[in-house]
Amino acid sequence: MKLNELRDNPGATKSRKRIARGPGSGTGKTAGRGVKGQKSRSGVAINGYEGGQMPLYMRLPKRGFNNINAKRHAVVNLGLLQKFIDAGKVDAKKPITEAVLVESGLVRRIHDGVRLLAKGEFKAKVNLTVTGASKTAIASVEAAGGSITTAAVAAE
């Protein structure tokens, strides 16, 4: 095969429709716009306009709010962390940081940090460093004999 022999698959490309180029093209004369009326002219913007009646998008109630400054945390449950420690994917003897959690595959992306939640059993003695944790998660880790450092505590 040579560069000059390269071809696309048959039917992979479609030629452009040449509008308003005579009767032989199939889209001559009115160019597929029909006959007369507002829509046959140029500069028409009537989608969503309902002839002066209040449009549907304005009649429906608006709800909710998207906070553009909201932080997005990767969530880790204690039960899942315990499972990874038992499987040997996370070493409980070394300090566990967010980078270690990503490396082990427990967290895919850190986003704005890792938040620890207390779902599941936890019995390993570990030294954790995460962005945030729930009060019950902190209590569970400390009850198991471990220590936990959060960014909120580190900032104080």
Domains of the chain (ranges; CATH) run 74-155 (3.100.10.10)
Q: In the structure, what pLDDT confidence band is assigned to residue 50 with cuts at 50, 70 and 90?
A: confident
Separation of first and last alpha carbons in the chain: 67
Q: Which of 84, 75, 149 is nearest to 107 (CA)?
A: 75
Residues 49, 55: contact at Cβ < 8 Å?
yes
Calculate what percentage of the chain has a pLDDT beyond 70.
97
Q: Could you tell me the pTM of the whole model?
A: 0.57
For position 155, what pLDDT does the model report?
46
